[in-house]
Amino acid sequence: MTDTPTDPGRRHWLRVGAGAAALTALPGVFAADPAPRTTVARVRSGRIGGSIEQGVHVFRGIPYGADTTLRRWQPALRETAWRGVRDAFEYGPSAPQRGSEGPGSEDCLRLNVWTPALRDGAKRPVLVYIHGGGFNTGSGSDPLYDGGALCRSGDVVVVTVNHRLNAFGYLHLRDLGDGSFAHAGNVGQLDLVQALEWVKTHAAEFGGDSANVTVFGQSGGGAKIATLMAMPAARGLFHRAWTMSGQQVTAAGPRAATQRAQIYLDALGLQPAEIVRLRTLPMQALLDAQTVRDPSRVEESALYFGPVVDTVNLPRHPFWPDAPPQSADIPMVIGNTRDETRAFLGNDPHNFTMHWDDLPANLRTQQFVDLDPAVVVAEYRRLYPDYTPSEVFFAATTAGRSWRGAVEELEVRAAQGTNTWAYQLDWYPRTEEGARMRAFHTLDIPLVFGNTGVTGAKTGDTVEARAVAETMRDALLAFVRSGDPNHAGMPIWAPYSMAARETMVFDAAARLENDPRGGERMLYQQAPFIQRGTQ
C-alpha cells in the first residue's frame, strides 16, 4: 500500500518505526525479547515494514519493478516510490499463469528477503533463489522456499523472486512487430537481471555483501540461471551458481521462436498487422491462447515459451557449443535427482505395471531423445538385468530428459576449468510412497533449504531426512562462502573432470563416485542433444 497521513497503517509504523529501525541492527534483541515483532528497512523507493520470525527479519512482496500491464513485452520500469512505510508482510502476486498459482497479476515484479540483521556491516553471503515451473509457472512464494532456516543455520541473506513467465515473459515478437517489441522474447530474463541489480543496490541494507551473491534454483530456475550465465546484462551481478535438475543447453532460435509467436497469434485470431492489440487484450485471453499445441513435440503439449537467442540480450546459446566464456570464473554446482521423471510420470498407475511389449511405444514419446527404443531397452536389460519394464521406463526417461542436459553442461564446464561440481541425489524416504516415487524431481528443494518439516515437503521430517538435509545444506553454505562446496560433514568432493566424472552422491551416507550411470550416459550420447522446445 502507499500510505497517506490518515492511513492507520502509517500511524502504526510511526509508533513502532523509529524504535524498530534502531533495534534491527541487533538481532539478539529480538531473539531475547519476543515483544517487538516488526522491523523497518529503507530501500530506494521508500521504507518497508516487515516482521521478525524466530529471530529473522522477513520482508515479503517488495517491488523491484513497476506494474508491467502497460509495459507488455518491454523491459520493466523502476517501481513507483511511496510515502510512509509500506507493508511487506505478505507475498506479492505471482506472474500471470495457468494452474494452481494462477491467474496471477501483471504487477508481479516482487521479491522476498530473509536476513539475520539489518545494516550491521556483516557482509553476509546473499543467496538469490530462482523458482522452477519451467518458464511457464511458479513463484517465489512456495513454503518450501522459506529462507528462515537457511538464515538461522548459515548466517546468510536469502532472496526469492517473481518475474514474468510464459508468453508474458518469452513471446518472441521482434520479427513480427515494431521496435517496441525488440526485447519481447527475453523480458522474463531481463526481469531477473533487474532483480539482481536491486539486490546489488540493497545488499548492505539487509546485512549482505553485494560482492558475494549466489544464484540457486531448481528445474526452470536452474535453466534461467544457465541462461543468465550467457547474458551480457547479468555479468557481475552474481558470483556463484548452484543448479538443481535445471539445465538450458540451447535456447530457441529466432526462426523457431517467431513460428511459435505466429501460432500464438493465430490462436488469438490476430493477423501480424494487428500485433499491437496484444497490449490491450485481457490478461486471461492471453493465458487461454497458450494451450495451443506445440508442433515440435511428439506428445500432446502446450506451446513452448523460453529464452531466445536474439543476438542482443542473449547473443549465444547458453551452453552450446561451449560454456559461456563470460561466466568461466563463476564456480558452479550442477545437480540432478536419480529418479527425476517419477515426478512427471509417476501419477499414471499404468507406468508401474508396464509389460516389455508396452515399453518401446512409451519410450518413443517420453524419452525426448530420438533414439531407437529397441536399442534403449536392450542396453538397459544388459546394464540392469534385474530391472522390471517400469524401472527401465523411469530410468531411461530420466537419462534421456533432464540428466542428459546436465551431462552436456558438465562436460563443457570441465573443458573450461576446474571450478564445477556435480551431484546426484539418490536418497529418498523409506516409506511406501517413497519407495514408489524414489528420488524424484524437486525432492532436493527442502533438503538444501533445510525445510524438511515444512508443509509440502515430501522428504518427511525424520532423523535421517534431517541428516541428509544438513549435509546438502552445509554444502550449499560452504559453497556460497568460499566457492567450494566441501565441508567436514561429508567425503571430499572433487571437481568434475572428463577423466573421472566425479559426482557426489547424496544418500543416507554421502559418497563420491566416478561416472555413476556411465553406461546410461554413453547410451544416450549416441544421439545429438537439443534442448526440448528450442527447435
| DSSP letter for each residue of 47-107 | EEEEEEETTEEEEEEEESS---GGGTTSPPPPPPP-SSEEE--SPPPPPS-SSTT-S--S-
Mean pLDDT in residue range 478-482: 98
DSSP characters for 333-390? EEEEETTTTHHHHTT-GGGGS--TTTHHHHHHHHS-S---HHHHHHHHHHH-TT--HH
Q: How is the chain split into domains, by residue range?
A: 8-244, 331-524
The 3-state DSSP class for residue 445 equals helix
pLDDT, position 531: 86
Q: Are 163 and 109 in contact (CB under 8 A)?
A: yes
CA distances from 283 to 280, 354, 512 (A): 9, 42, 49
- Length of the chain equals 535
Q: Is the pLDDT of residue 22 over 60?
A: no
Does the fold of domain 331-524 match that of domain 8-244?
Answer: yes
Out of 139, 219, 390, 402, pick the active-site residue.
219
Q: What is the Cα–Cα distance from 503 to 512, expressed in whole angstroms?
A: 6
For 177-235, what is each residue's pLDDT tens digit?
999 999 999 999 999 999 999 999 999 999 999 999 999 999 999 999 999 999 999 99
For 503-531, what is each residue's pLDDT tens digit?
999 999 999 999 999 999 999 999 998 88
| Mean of all residue pLDDT scores within the chain | 92
Spatial CA neighbour of 127 closest among 93, 95, 161, 94: 161
Out of 57, 172, 441, 487, pick the active-site residue.
441
Out of 106, 340, 502, 520, pick the active-site residue.
340
pLDDT, position 534: 84
State yes or no: is 409 an active-site residue: no
pLDDT, position 24: 38
Which of 30-44, 195-209, 386-400, 429-443 shows the lowest per-residue confidence on average (mean pLDDT)? 30-44
State yes or no: is 210 an active-site residue: no
Identify the band that residue 32 occupies on the pLDDT scale cut at 50, 70 and 90: very low
Homologous superfamily, domain 331-524: Alpha/Beta hydrolase fold, catalytic domain (3.40.50.1820)
Q: What is the Cα–Cα distance from 4 to 11, expressed in whole angstroms?
A: 9
DSSP characters for 225-244? HHHHTT-GGGTTS-SEEEEE
Mean pLDDT in residue range 9-19: 41
Mean pLDDT in residue range 396-419: 96
For 22, residues 6+ apart whose C-beta sits below 8 A from its C-beta are none
pLDDT, position 8: 35
CATH (one of 3.30.70.1150, 3.40.50.300, 3.10.310.30, 3.40.50.1820) for 8-244? 3.40.50.1820
pLDDT, position 493: 98
Task: Name 159's bridge partners.
Answer: 113, 128
Spatial CA neighbour of 214 closest among 447, 475, 503: 475
Instruction: Extract the C-alpha cell encoding 477.
Output: 553454505
Mean pLDDT in residue range 45-49: 98
State yes or no: is 441 an active-site residue: yes
Q: Is the pLDDT of residue 458 over 80?
A: yes
State the Cα torsion 295-300-303-304 to the nearest 10°.
-90
Helical (H) or strand (E) element with 214: strand 208-218
Q: What is the Cα–Cα distance from 250 to 316, expressed in whole angstroms?
A: 9
Whether the model pTM is above 0.85: yes
pLDDT, position 35: 42
Identify the band that residue 20 occupies on the pLDDT scale cut at 50, 70 and 90: very low
DSSP characters for 119-179? SS---EEEEEEE--STTTS--TT-GGG--HHHHHHH--EEEEE----HHHHH---TTTS-G
For 275-306, what is each residue's pLDDT tens digit?
999 999 999 999 999 999 988 766 668 999 99
